[in-house]
Each structure stands twice: as structure tokens, then as C-alpha cells.
Amino acid sequence: MDKGHTVGEVHVSFMHLISRLLRLYHESGWTRTEHMLLPEATLYQEWLNLRSQDKMEHWFAKRLLNPLLAMFKEISESQFQHLSQKMIAYIKENNDKVLTLEQCAADLHYNANYLSSVFKKGTGMTFSDYVADHRLSEAKKWLVDTDIPIKQIAETLGYKNSQNFIRSFRKSTSMTPGQYRQEKGME
């Protein structure tokens, strides 16, 4: 309207935009009611009753744009959580292998950079930090609850040799696996 267009011309242009946004909304398949938009006829009627640019801008943001953005943000976060859970399951299923983000991405059919950012957003940790934490947690359980030899625990957790496992364990806990087993086994 600032550039000399009439209210009618603005209405027609925005009716096309509203139609496209509503199509996007319907194609998303979203069924949650908190982001449910009004019936299309109601939205169009409300829009056609607006006569000032300020009211149009306010209505467009409040009634259409903000609910759609909130819905798509929620969809995105939900997908991040789902994909992060798939990656966690992958880590647990492949606990005995050398795990890399690249291999996980290839096996799950995703781009490694994308998975890296999704995993970080979904868990708050990097893939490699999560793998290390998970393995450390498993090692601690086995050291306390079983009498499996340390060398076998290292192999089961995908370490090439037990010295790498011992070094990694000591770095995280300030004690060797043997010391940990001895100390925690007495409690």
C-alpha cells in the first residue's frame, strides 16, 4: 500500500500468499490442536475485512505467520528428537565396533554434517562424546557387576587394544579399570 497499491490489490496478493501458506499447513499433516488454524473461509473473511496496513500486518503475523512458524519449529524439534533416538539406538546396537559419525550417517542414510547438528541439538552432546560416555558407563557396570576380564571388556566395547581402553578410562575417572573394580566392588 506504501507503493500506491489499493487495498483491493493488497488483498488479492495476500489471498494468494494465504492460500499457499494454508496448502503448506495442510500438506504438513500436522494434527495437534494447539497450532490449529481457523477454517480457511474464516481466515479469508477476516482478511478481507481489514482496511489499514497496520491491521493487515498485525493480523498476518498473529493469525497466520506466528502459528505456522511455531508449528514448523515443533515439527523440526520432534524430528531432531526422533533422529537423535535412532542414533542412540545405533550406538547401543554397535557398541562392540569402532563407531564414527560418518559410518552412522552412511548406515542411517543421512549426511554426516546434518546428523552432527541434529544429534547436538537433540542430546546436547557431540556424537563422539556420547559414544565415549556410553562406553564408559557400560564399562563401569561390567566392572562392578561381572568378573569379565578387563581385556574382554575393552574388546566388547570396540577398543582395538586394552591399553587404549585403560588410558581412556583413567582419563575419565582418574583410576584404572582394575582400581575402579576393586574400589566399587567393595562398596
Q: Determine the average pLDDT of the residues in 140-150.
A: 93
Q: Determine the average pLDDT of the residues in 26-55.
A: 71
Q: Which residues constitute the domain of residue 25?
A: 7-77
Q: Determine the average pLDDT of the residues in 53-76.
A: 82
> C-alpha grid cell for residue 9?
490489490
- Cβ burial, residue 65 (10 Å; 0-12/13-18/19+): middle
Query: Based on the domain organization, do 187 and 101 belong to the same domain?
Result: yes
Helix axes 40-49, 7-27, angle to 10 degrees: 160
Residue keyed to cell 493488497? 10
Q: Which of 20, 48, 77 is where one domain is finished?
A: 77
pLDDT at 30 over 70: no
Q: Determine the average pLDDT of the residues in 133-140.
A: 93
Evaluate whether residue 1 is within a structural domain.
no
pLDDT at 162 over 80: yes
Query: Based on the domain organization, do 112 and 71 belong to the same domain?
Result: no
Mean pLDDT of the chain: 85
Query: Based on the domain organization, do 71 and 104 belong to the same domain?
Result: no
pLDDT at 68 over 90: no
Q: Determine the average pLDDT of the residues in 16-41.
A: 69
The larger pLDDT score, comparing residue 113 to residue 122, is at 113
Cβ atoms of 165 and 153 within 8 Å: the answer is yes
| CA 68 – CA 22 distance, rounded (Å) | 9
Evaluate whether residue 84 is within a structural domain.
no
pTM over 0.75: no
Of the candidates 142, 140, 150, 138, which has an alpha carbon nearest to the alpha carbon of residue 94? 138
